[in-house]
Chains A and B, each alone.
Chain A
Amino acid sequence: MMLRALRALDAWWRAPAPAARLAVMRVLVGLFAAFYLVVRGPHLWSFGSVDPLHFAPIGVTRLLSSPLPGLAWYALLVSTGGLALCFVAGWRHRLTGPLFAGALLFVLTYESSFQQVLHTTNLLAFYALVLGVTPAADAVSLDARSGRTASGEETRYGWPLKLMALLCAVSYVVAGVAKLRRMGLGYASGEVLRNHVAYDNLRKLELGSFHSPLGAWLLPYEGLWAVLGAATLALELGAPLAMLGPRWGRVWVAATWCFHLGVLLTMMIFFGFQLLGVAFAPFFHLERLLEWRPVRALRRRFAPA
């Protein structure tokens, strides 16, 4: 009985999927990582000359007793950018995939090792790790074009996407559990959320940055914050429902995307990985993107003669 259940679980988890689905996910994650490294470039670059007294290592950077020398940090940043391009192109993925995942994990962790842990790139690091060590370049890649990929069973391509979807759902549950542990169901009353939005906007103003006028304007509407507080908890704790099937997944993704839009509009916090849709991409049949006319034209242009 137990064995049968395990076999069924294994069959569901490793259900076949087209190689192109995982490959498109690789391209999306790689492009986002490259975009992130460019947009955050000046900020990331500034860590090459930061005062060591601000260094507070976490995760993999605990291996360091002091910040990296400036030159080493600059070299790492440039190499990670180069590896991101290899990752997008799917060039020598068996080597460059794990290297990119490791380098990106280090860069993102290092960025959070100066007194402030960022919570907008956790899933990016996890997705890169999954894609870096799985056959994500068996299609839509230079490896596939030059015949470097081994053709194999399609069970290899489905589970990494399910794993990314599960990691996405679990991370929301973790956030929901943190709220419950701290405040219980009282979070759903909305007062905590309202105070948080007020706190966040005030802090930004008084730290010389820009705030959300909309968030500040909505503060007097207590009923609205109660609805938003309850909806936030329901979305986070109900995230595992997204794993039940494509329809459940899409409903949860749409609601969670709206939640992140709300965070942007009321607190000016941009969860780019989520709002640009990459975090939720594992819930969709991504190979269909290849049929999109501009993508088809692009592929024709770069296809071998």
Chain B
Amino acid sequence: MPARAPWRKPVRWIHWRAMSSRLFAWALTVGLVALTCWPMTWSQGDSFPHSRFPMFSSLRPREMMLTHALGVLPDGRRIPLPPILSAGNRAVLQSEKFVRRGIETDGAAYCAQVAQRVAASDDADFAAVEAVELATSSFDTVGYFEVPAESRAPLGRHVHARCEVRR
């Protein structure tokens, strides 16, 4: 019986499985490692789950600007409103972005939303809040912590919107 030509050999299923398993392993490895490394080529922007992890790589000057929501007390003192009141959720950093976006879109309307949440809140810390201010404040980041808590004050403050809390 003549020998079977090499290209006519029957497909050996077990070899095919081994080869496909090896190819899959390497394809997934190369694909995911490349995806993770890709952000190294970015100079700005971010994504998920691949990221250039910019959170600790941004230059932070000593003087910083912060946009936040403040509660005005009867004696004129201002206290920062927590994220659940300023943005309606519990994410601290997200709350700053929400407030900034709210000011850009319609500061008065966003201020009214925050005031409504303050009025509806049963948190005793904010029961005396009479008005809400959406403001951008500037601070000396290191100097801020060099003075007692009660003396801490911004270097400057610009109020974008103010509204009363109606209970």
Contacts and interface: CB of A to CB of B under 8 A. Distances in A.
A207 B96 contact: yes
A198 B82 contact: no
Contacts of A195: 60-62, 141-142
Interface in A49-81: 50, 53-54, 58-59
Contact of A163 (B28, B56, B82): B28
Contact of B53 (A105, A130, A171): A171
A174 B139 contact: no
A114 interface: yes
A163 B62 contact: no
Interface string A199-225: 101111111110000001001100000
Contact of B83 (A109, A123, A130, A209): A209
A116 B97 contact: yes
Interface string B28-52: 1100110011011001001111111
A160 to B, nearest CB: 8
A46 B91 CA distance: 11
Interface string B55-91: 1111111101010110000000001111101101111
A114 B94 contact: yes
B116 interface: no
Nearest to B98: A54
B108 to A, nearest CB: 15
Interface in B84-138: 85-86, 88-98, 101, 105, 137
A17 interface: no
B5 interface: no
Contacts of B85: 208
Contact of A174 (B29, B37, B68): B37
Contact of B57 (A10, A108, A183, A198): A183
Contacts of B142: 194-195, 198, 219
Nearest to A114: B94
Give chain A's interface residue range (CB within 8 Å of chain B). 35 or more
B22 A205 contact: no
A22 to B, nearest CB: 13
A43 B46 contact: no
A133 B92 CA distance: 35
A204 B93 CA distance: 8
A13 B25 contact: yes
B48 A117 contact: yes
Contact of B29 (A42, A112, A163, A209): A163
B92 A174 contact: no
Contacts of B82: 207-209
A174 B83 contact: no
B31 to A, nearest CB: 10
B25 A159 contact: yes
A267 to B, nearest CB: 9
Interface of A: 10, 13-14, 42-43, 46-47, 50, 53-54, 58-59, 105, 108-109, 112, 114-119, 121-123, 125-126, 129-130, 133-134, 153, 155-156, 159, 163, 166-167, 170-171, 174-175, 177-179, 181-183, 187, 192-196, 198-199, 201-209, 216, 219-220, 232
25 contacts: A43-B90, A43-B91, A50-B88, A59-B50, A114-B97, A115-B97, A116-B97, A117-B46, A122-B48, A123-B49, A125-B48, A125-B49, A126-B36, A159-B25, A159-B29, A163-B29, A163-B33, A181-B57, A182-B58, A182-B59, A202-B141, A202-B144, A204-B92, A208-B79, A209-B92
Given A175-B52, A178-B39, A195-B61, 20 more contacts: A42-B90, A108-B48, A109-B48, A115-B101, A116-B91, A121-B49, A122-B50, A122-B51, A156-B21, A167-B33, A170-B36, A174-B37, A177-B52, A193-B56, A198-B62, A198-B144, A206-B80, A207-B66, A216-B145, A219-B145
Interface of B: 18, 21-22, 25-26, 28-29, 32-33, 36-37, 39-40, 43, 46-62, 64, 66, 68-69, 79-83, 85-86, 88-98, 101, 105, 137, 139, 141-142, 144-146
